A and B are shown apart, each in its own frame.
Chain A
Amino acid sequence: MASIPIPDINIGAIGPEITLCVIAMGILMAEVFSPSRKNRDLMGLVAFGGVVVAGLITMSFQGESFTTFSGTYIVDNFSTFFKLICLLATGLTILVSIRYCEEENIHEGEYYALLLFTTVGMLFMASGEDLMTIYMGLEVMSLSLYALAGYTKTRRESNEASLKYFILGGFSSAILLYGMALIYGASGTTKLAGVSEALMGGSVNTTLIAVGVVLTLVGFAFKVSAVPFHMWTPDVYQGAPVPITGFMSAGPKAAAFAAMFRLFAEAFAPLQNDWWLLLWILAAVTMTAGNLFALAQNNVKRMLAYSSIAHAGYILMGVAAANETGSSGALFYLLAYTFMNIAAFAIVGIVASKGEERVSFKDYTGLGYKYPLLGATLTVMIFSLAGIPPTAGFVGKFYIFMAVVEKGYIVLAIIGVLNAVISVFYYLKLTVYMYMRDERVETTKIVLQPSMIIALLLSLYGVLIIGLAPSAYMSFAKSAFLSF
C-alpha cells in the first residue's frame, strides 16, 4: 500500500441512500402519529416517491467514476446500473404492495420502512468497494428482509419462512464474514483493489486465500440461492408475502450479484484461472437443479421460486464467463428479470386473493378467458421467463449465452440452452391451465387498483421494449461492465 489517502467524504455520492433513509424514518414516524390509518395508500405513494427521487439522483451519476469515503465506496456505471435495477425492483414492489396491504390488512408503516431499508442495504452493496461496506450493506438488507418475510404474522407459512430465512441467513452471513476475515488475514486489507494488488504481488498465503475465496463464494451462493445452497429458497419464497417474494427474487438477488461481481472481477481477478471452474459448475448445477425441481411443482408460487433458482444459474453463467460480455450480459439479464419476475409474482398475488389460498395451477384454469388482459400479461411474462422472443427474457438469455460461447464454454452454453427447453415445459403448464382447459373454476372477482395497473403496464412496457428495441439498454449495460 502506498500512502494513506486523506479521508474524503462526498455526501452527495450517497444521496440516494440518504433520501431513502429519511423517507423510511418519516414513514415510521407517520405510522406512530396517525393510528387511524386513514390515508394508508399515502404511505406507499410517499415511499414510491422516495424511490423515484433516489432513482433520479442515481441517474445523475451516470458516466461518473470515483471512489469516496476513503475508497470504501465507489460510484461508477456498474454501481449506477445495479442501483437502478434495485430501485426499479423496489418501486415496482411498492406499487404492487399497495393492493396487497389493503387486501391482507397489514400495517403499512413498518412494511414500507423495512422495504426502503432493504433497498438502502442493496444500494450500499452495489457501491461497496471494501469488504466491510459490502458486508454492512448485506446485513442491512438481510435483517430487513427477515422481518419482511414474516410480515403476515397470522399465516403459519410466513412465520416459518421468516424463521428459516433468519437462521440460515445468519449462518451464511457468518460463513461469508469468515471468508472475508481470511482474505483480510492473507492480504492485509479489506479494500478490493488492495486485495487484488496483494494477490498479484504473489506473497500471500495461498491456503488462506483459497479457503477465503471458497467461503465467500458459499456466502454469496446462499444469497443468490445457487444450488446446493438453495434449500431455504422454496420455503421462504412460498411463505413470504407475494410482493416480497417477487422483490426478494429480483432486488436483493441483483444486489448480491453486484457484490459478487465486484469481488470476483476486481479483488479475485488475479485468481480467475482457479475459480472459474467452481463458478462453471455452480452455474450448471444451479440451473439444472432449479429447472428439474420446478417441473414437479403444483404450487405456482413454489414453481416460480424454483424457476428463480434456475435464473440465478443463468446469471451465474455470466459471472463464470468473466468477460466483458458476461458482465454486461448479467446486468442486462437482471434488468429484464426484474421486470418479468416482479410482474409474474404480482399476478400470482392477484390470483391468490385473500390469505393467499389460491396458488395452485388449477386456480388458473380459464383465467385467460375470464380476464383476457391479465391473462395476456401473465402469458407475456411467462414467455419472457421462458426466453421466447420478442421479449426481454430472450434478449437477456441471448446476451448471456453469447458471453459463454465467446469465452469458449460451449458445453456450458449447451447445458444452458437445454435448460431453457426444460423450463419451457413448466412455464407452458401455466398457459395450458389458463387457456386450454375446458372446466372453469369459480374465482373471486378481481378488481385492480390504479397502482397495480401502473406496475403491470410498466413491466409489460419494460419486457416488450427491451425485447424489441434493446439497443439503448444494451449500450448502457455495456458501458457498465467491469473489466476482469
Chain B
Amino acid sequence: MSSLPLLSLIIFLPMAGVILIMLTDKDNVAQIRTIAFITALADFIISLPLFFSFENTADMQFIERREWIPDFGISYYLGIDGISMLLVLLTTLTCVICIASTWTAIEKYVKEFMIAFLLLETGMVGVFCALDFFLFYVFWEVMLIPMYLIIGVWGGERRVYAAVKFFLYTMFGSVLMLVAILWLYNHHNDVQGFYTTDILAYHGLAIDPGAQMWLFIAFFLAFAIKVPMWPFHTWLPDAHVEAPTAGSVILAGVLLKMGTYGFLRFSLPIFPDATVAAVDWVSWLAVIGIVYGALVAMVQPDIKKLVAYSSVSHLGFVMLGIFALNVQAIEGGILQMINHGVSTGALFLAVGVLYERRHTRLISEYGGITAKMPIFAAIFMIVTLSSIGLPGMNGFVGEFLILLGVWKSDPFFAVIATSGVIWAAVYMLWMFQRVMFVKITNPKNENLKDLNLREIAYFAPLIALIFIMGVFPTPFLNKMEPSVARLVNQVKPAIIKAEKLQAPKAPEAIRTGAVTITSGVGIDAPRS
C-alpha cells in the first residue's frame, strides 16, 4: 500500500475546489461549473484505487492516524473496511453525477451552490472514513449545514420548512448520540483506564446489558432518523420534494446510507447484547416501513414524493437485512445500500429531467412521454425495473440476499418483506404507465425534447452499474465479505448468550416471537 494519505486527499480535494471557486467571479458560471465538475471527477478518480487495491481482509485499510487533541485521546484517524469502501465510492460517483445534472437546473447562485455541494462531499466522505468518535461526529454534523442550505436556498416552494425540519430532526437524533458517546468515553476510562475516542477500541468493550440498551436507543434514534425508519421518516418526503434534483439525489444516494452505516459501524459491534434484544422491534419497524412506504408511495400524485416514499420502503429492506444478523442478510443490506443509491439516485435524476422540461412533478400532468422522448423512456424503464428488483439488475441481488438471510433468521418477517417487493412493482409500474405510456392528453407534452448528450452521459454510469452489479455482484460481495463476517462474529456471542438465557422457557419465547435467531446464527459457508 502506498504511503500516500489517500483518504485525506479524497476528503479534502473538494475543499481545493471550493477555494478555486471562491476566487472565481460569481458571474462566470461556466467556469464555476467546470471547476466543480473537474474537482468532483478528480475526486472520483483518485477514489478508484480504494476499490482496486483493496485487500479482501477484515482489517481497516488506508489507515491514517495523527494526534489531534491528545489531552482527550482524540486523534485524526481514518480508515476503511469492506463496509465503508463501497460507500465512499458511491459518494464520490454520485457527486460527479449530481454536479453534471445541475448544469441547467441550477441557475441562481451557482457559485454558492457549488461551494455548498463540494463542502457536502467533504463531510460525507469524512463520515464514512472516520474511525474516531470525535472526528466522526464532526463530519456527521458538518454535513448538515451545506445540505440545509442546498434544500433551503435552491429548493421548491416550501423549502424553508423542509430545510429547517431536516436540520432539526437530524440534529435531535445526533445530540442524544453525543451524550451516549460521552458516556461511553467515560466508561472506557473506567474499564480500560485511559481515555480514547478510537471507535475500534469500543468494539467488544464490556458494557453492562442494561446500560447497553440505553446507549443503543440513543444511537438508534440518531441513525433511525437518518435512515429514516418508520415512524421517524416524516422529514424525508418534505426534504426530498423541496430539494433541488441534485440535493434529492445526494440525499437518497448517500445521506440516508449514513444511518444504515451507523448501525453497522456502531450499534451492532459496540452493543451486541442490546442489538440482539432489539432485533424484534427493529425488524417490526423495518417491515412496517417496507409496507407503509410502499402503500403511501402508491397513492402519491407527485412523482418525486412517490420516489421519496419508495426510499422509506427500500431502506426498510436494508434495516431488516442488517438486523437479521447473519452474513448473507447483512451483505445483502450493504449491497442494497449501494443499489438504492444507484437506482433511486437515477430515479430522482429522471424526475429532474421531466421537471426541468415541464416544471411540474404531478403524474396527472404527464402521459405518453415515450413517444416524444424514446431515449429517456428506455433509461427510465431500466431504472424503474432496477428499483423494483428485476433479476439481472442490481436491485434483485440485494433484495434476494436480504430475503434469504432474513428467512433463515425469521421466516415471518421474510414473508411480509416479500410482499413489499410486490407492492414496489405495483407503485412503480403504475406510475411508469401513467407518465410514460397511454396517449398524450396534455398538449404541453407535445414539444418535449429528448435527452441531450450531457444528460445521457450522466445516466450512463448508473445504467452500467445497474447491470454490472446485477450480473456480477461477486467482486462487490467478496470485498465486503471478511468485514461482514467479522461483524457477525462480534455479535455472535451475544446471540448465544441470549439463546442460553431463553432456552429453559423456550416454548413461551417462541410464542412471543422472542427466539428468532436460532438458525442461521453462525458464519455462513463462504461462497465459491
Q: A residues near B, CB below 8 A?
A: 369, 372, 383, 388-390, 394, 398, 401-402, 405-406, 410, 413-414, 417-418, 420-421, 424-425, 428, 431-432, 435-436, 469-471, 474-475, 478
Q: Which residues of A sit under 8 angstroms from B175, Cβ to Cβ?
A: 417-418, 420-421
Known: A402-B72, A432-B152. 16 other contacts (CB 8 A): A388-B141, A389-B142, A405-B179, A405-B185, A406-B186, A410-B183, A413-B182, A420-B171, A420-B175, A421-B171, A431-B152, A435-B149, A436-B153, A436-B160, A469-B68, A471-B70
Interfacial residues of chain B within 282-329, with CB under 8 A of chain A in the complex: none
Q: Which residues of A sit under 8 angstroms from B168, Cβ to Cβ?
A: 421, 424-425
Residue from the list A418, A420, A421, A435 in contact with B153, Cβ < 8 A: A435
CB of B172 closer than 8 Å to a CB of A = yes
Q: Which residues of B sit under 8 angstroms from A389, Cβ to Cβ?
A: 137-138, 141-142
Task: Indicate if the CB atoms of B164 and A417 lie closer than 8 Å.
Answer: no
Task: Indicate if the CB atoms of A424 and B152 lie closer than 8 Å.
Answer: no
- Knowing A390-B142, A425-B164, the reply to whether A436 touches B178 (Cβ < 8 A) is no
CB of B148 closer than 8 Å to a CB of A = yes
Task: Indicate if the CB atoms of A478 and B71 lie closer than 8 Å.
Answer: yes
Residue from the list A390, A414, A424, A432 in contact with B176, Cβ < 8 A: A414
Task: Indicate if the CB atoms of B163 and A401 lie closer than 8 Å.
Answer: no
Q: Which residues of A sit under 8 angstroms from B153, Cβ to Cβ?
A: 435-436
Q: Which residues of A sit under 8 angstroms from B71, Cβ to Cβ?
A: 471, 474-475, 478
Interfacial residues of chain B within 132-155, with CB under 8 A of chain A in the complex: 134, 137-138, 141-142, 144-145, 148-149, 152-153
A464 to chain B, nearest CB (A): 12
What's the Cα separation between A470 and B164 when bound, in Å?
29
What's the Cα separation between A418 and B179 when bound, in Å?
10
* Contact digits for B172-205, partner A, Cβ 8 Å, 1 yes 0 no: 1001101100110110000000000000000000
Task: Indicate if the CB atoms of B178 and A417 lie closer than 8 Å.
Answer: yes
CB of B479 closer than 8 Å to a CB of A = no
A-B contact count (CB 8 A): 81
Task: Indicate if the CB atoms of B160 and A432 lie closer than 8 Å.
Answer: yes
Residue from the list A369, A394, A402 in contact with B138, Cβ < 8 A: A394
What's the Cα separation between A129 and B6 when bound, in Å?
54
What's the Cα separation between A471 and B67 when bound, in Å?
10
What's the Cα separation between A370 and B145 when bound, in Å?
20
CB of B167 closer than 8 Å to a CB of A = yes
What's the Cα separation between A389 and B134 when bound, in Å?
10
Task: Indicate if the CB atoms of B138 and A424 lie closer than 8 Å.
Answer: no
CB of B159 closer than 8 Å to a CB of A = yes
Task: Indicate if the CB atoms of A436 and B69 lie closer than 8 Å.
Answer: no
Task: Indicate if the CB atoms of A388 and B144 lie closer than 8 Å.
Answer: yes
CB of B412 closer than 8 Å to a CB of A = no
Task: Give the nearest-CB partner of A478 in chain B.
Answer: B71
Q: Count residues of chain B with CB under 8 A from any CB of chain A.
A: 34
What's the Cα separation between A210 and B417 when bound, in Å?
64
Task: Indicate if the CB atoms of A413 and B144 lie closer than 8 Å.
Answer: no
A317 to chain B, nearest CB (A): 12
What's the Cα separation between A311 and B134 when bound, in Å?
22
Task: Give the nearest-CB partner of B164 in chain A.
Answer: A428
Q: Which residues of B sit under 8 angstroms from A405, Cβ to Cβ?
A: 179, 182-183, 185-186
Chain B contact residues: over half helix, strand or loop, or mixed?
Answer: helix
What's the Cα separation between A424 and B166 when bound, in Å?
12
CB of B109 closer than 8 Å to a CB of A = yes
Task: Indicate if the CB atoms of A394 and B141 lie closer than 8 Å.
Answer: yes
B54 to chain A, nearest CB (A): 29
Q: Which residues of A sit under 8 angstroms from B186, Cβ to Cβ?
A: 405-406
* Contact digits for B79-95, partner A, Cβ 8 Å, 1 yes 0 no: 00000000000000000
- Enumerate 17 A-B pairs (CB-CB under 8 Å) in ascending A order: A389-B137, A389-B142, A390-B138, A390-B142, A398-B178, A401-B178, A402-B182, A405-B182, A417-B178, A420-B175, A424-B171, A432-B160, A435-B149, A436-B153, A436-B160, A471-B70, A474-B72
Task: Indicate if the CB atoms of A369 and B109 lie closer than 8 Å.
Answer: yes
Task: Indicate if the CB atoms of A474 and B69 lie closer than 8 Å.
Answer: yes
Task: Indicate if the CB atoms of A428 and B179 lie closer than 8 Å.
Answer: no
Q: Which residues of B sit under 8 angstroms from A425, Cβ to Cβ?
A: 164, 168
What's the Cα separation between A444 and B69 when bound, in Å?
44
A331 to chain B, nearest CB (A): 13
Interface centre among A410, A435, A474, A475 (most CB of B within 10 A): A435
Task: Give the nearest-CB partner of B179 in chain A.
Answer: A413
What's the Cα separation between A394 and B178 when bound, in Å?
11
What's the Cα separation between A218 and B153 when bound, in Å?
46
Top 5 nearest A-B pairs (CB, nearest first) are A417-B175, A405-B182, A389-B138, A436-B152, A471-B69
A431 to chain B, nearest CB (A): 8
Q: Which residues of A sit under 8 angstroms from B70, Cβ to Cβ?
A: 471
- Knowing A389-B142, A390-B138, the reply to whether A435 touches B179 (Cβ < 8 A) is no
Interface centre among A372, A398, A418, A420 (most CB of B within 10 A): A398
Q: Which residues of A sit under 8 angstroms from B138, Cβ to Cβ?
A: 389-390, 394
What's the Cα separation between A156 and B168 when bound, in Å?
38
B441 to chain A, nearest CB (A): 33
Q: Which residues of A sit under 8 angstroms from B134, Cβ to Cβ?
A: 398
Q: Which residues of B sit under 8 angstroms from A414, Cβ to Cβ?
A: 176, 179
Q: Which residues of B sit under 8 angstroms from A475, Cβ to Cβ?
A: 71
Q: Which residues of A sit under 8 angstroms from B160, Cβ to Cβ?
A: 432, 436
What's the Cα separation between A369 and B154 when bound, in Å?
14
Q: Which residues of B sit under 8 angstroms from A383, Cβ to Cβ?
A: 145
Task: Indicate if the CB atoms of B142 and A388 lie closer than 8 Å.
Answer: yes
B155 to chain A, nearest CB (A): 8
Task: Indicate if the CB atoms of B145 and A388 lie closer than 8 Å.
Answer: yes
What's the Cα separation between A424 and B165 when bound, in Å?
11
Interface centre among A383, A418, A424 (most CB of B within 10 A): A424
Task: Indicate if the CB atoms of A410 and B109 lie closer than 8 Å.
Answer: no
B417 to chain A, nearest CB (A): 33
B210 to chain A, nearest CB (A): 13
Task: Indicate if the CB atoms of B164 and A432 lie closer than 8 Å.
Answer: yes
Interface centre among A369, A402, A414 (most CB of B within 10 A): A402
What's the Cα separation between A394 and B145 when bound, in Å?
13
What's the Cα separation between A417 and B168 when bound, in Å?
12
What's the Cα separation between A470 and B71 when bound, in Å?
10
Task: Indicate if the CB atoms of B179 and A410 lie closer than 8 Å.
Answer: yes
Task: Give the nearest-CB partner of A432 in chain B.
Answer: B160
What's the Cα separation between A424 and B178 when bound, in Å?
16
What's the Cα separation between A369 and B142 when bound, in Å?
22
Interface centre among A390, A394, A402, A436 (most CB of B within 10 A): A436
What's the Cα separation between A471 and B142 when bound, in Å?
19
A147 to chain B, nearest CB (A): 41
Q: Which residues of B sit under 8 angstroms from A478, Cβ to Cβ?
A: 71
What's the Cα separation between A390 and B137 when bound, in Å?
10
Task: Indicate if the CB atoms of A402 and B137 lie closer than 8 Å.
Answer: no
Task: Indicate if the CB atoms of A417 and B142 lie closer than 8 Å.
Answer: no
What's the Cα separation between A432 and B161 when bound, in Å?
10
What's the Cα separation between A406 and B179 when bound, in Å?
11
Q: Which residues of B sit under 8 angstroms from A402, Cβ to Cβ?
A: 72, 182, 185
Q: Which residues of B sit under 8 angstroms from A469, Cβ to Cβ?
A: 68
B21 to chain A, nearest CB (A): 12
Task: Give the nearest-CB partner of B154 in chain A.
Answer: A436
Q: Which residues of A sit under 8 angstroms from B183, Cβ to Cβ?
A: 405, 410
B153 to chain A, nearest CB (A): 5
B421 to chain A, nearest CB (A): 37
A384 to chain B, nearest CB (A): 11
Task: Indicate if the CB atoms of B179 and A401 lie closer than 8 Å.
Answer: yes
Q: Which residues of B sit under 8 angstroms from A410, Cβ to Cβ?
A: 179, 183
Q: Which residues of A sit under 8 angstroms from B164, Cβ to Cβ?
A: 425, 428, 432
What's the Cα separation between A383 and B109 when bound, in Å?
21
Q: Which residues of A sit under 8 angstroms from B144, Cβ to Cβ?
A: 388
What's the Cα separation between A162 and B264 when bound, in Å?
58
Q: Which residues of B sit under 8 angstroms from A390, Cβ to Cβ?
A: 138, 142
Q: Which residues of A sit under 8 angstroms from B172, Cβ to Cβ?
A: 418, 421
A221 to chain B, nearest CB (A): 26
What's the Cα separation between A394 and B171 when bound, in Å?
13
Interface centre among A383, A405, A471, A474 (most CB of B within 10 A): A405
Q: Which residues of A sit under 8 angstroms from B109, Cβ to Cβ?
A: 369
Interfacial residues of chain B within 416-433, with CB under 8 A of chain A in the complex: none
